[in-house]
Chain A
Amino acid sequence: MMHALRYAFEEATASLWRGRQSGLLSTATIAVALFVLGGFLLVTSNLERLSAAWSQAAELSVYLSDSVTAEERAAIERMLAPGDVVAEVQYLSKADAAVRFGEIFPDLAGALDPGAENPLPASYEARLDDPVAAGRVEDLARLLREAPGVVDVRFDREWLERLVTAVSIVQGFGLALGTMLTLAAALTVANVVRLALYARRAEIQIMDLVGAPAVYVRGPFVMEGMLQGGLGALVALAALAATFLAVRGRYLTPLVEAANLPAARFLPLELCGILLVGGTFVGCVGGLVATSGRR
Chain B
Amino acid sequence: MIETYHLSKLYSRGVYALRDLTLRIDKGEFLFLTGASGAGKSTLLRLLLREELPTEGTLKVAGQNLPDLTRSQVQAYRRTIGFVFQEFRLIPRFSVFENVAFVMRVLGVGLAQRQRKTFQVLKWVGLQHRMNALPDELSGGEQQRVAIARALVNDPQIVLADEPTGNLDPDLSLEVMNLFREINARGTTVLVATHDRELIRQVARRAVMLDHGRVVEVG
Contact = CB atoms under 8 A, between A and B. Distances in A.
A210 B147 CA distance: 13
B76 to A, nearest CB: 6
Interface in B77-113: 77-79, 81, 83, 89, 91, 102-103, 105-108, 110
Interface in B145-169: 154
Contacts of A207: 106
Interface class of chain A by DSSP:
helix
B91 A202 contact: yes
B106 A295 contact: no
B91 A211 contact: no
Given A206-B103, A295-B71, A211 B78 contact: yes
B75 interface: yes
B172 interface: no
Contacts, number: 48
B108 A211 contact: no
A202 B92 CA distance: 9
Contacts of A205: 89
A4 B110 CA distance: 11
Nearest to B156: A210
Nearest to B82: A210
A213 interface: yes
A203 B81 CA distance: 17
Nearest to B80: A211
A111 to B, nearest CB: 90
A202 B147 CA distance: 13
User: Which among B71, B107, B154 has the greatest number of chain A C-beta atoms within 10 A?
Assistant: B107
A18 B194 CA distance: 38
Q: Considering the complex of A and B, which 6 residue pairs feature the smallest CB-CB distances, nearest first? A: A211-B78, A212-B106, A211-B75, A211-B79, A216-B106, A210-B103
Interface of A: 3-4, 7, 202-203, 205-214, 216-217, 295
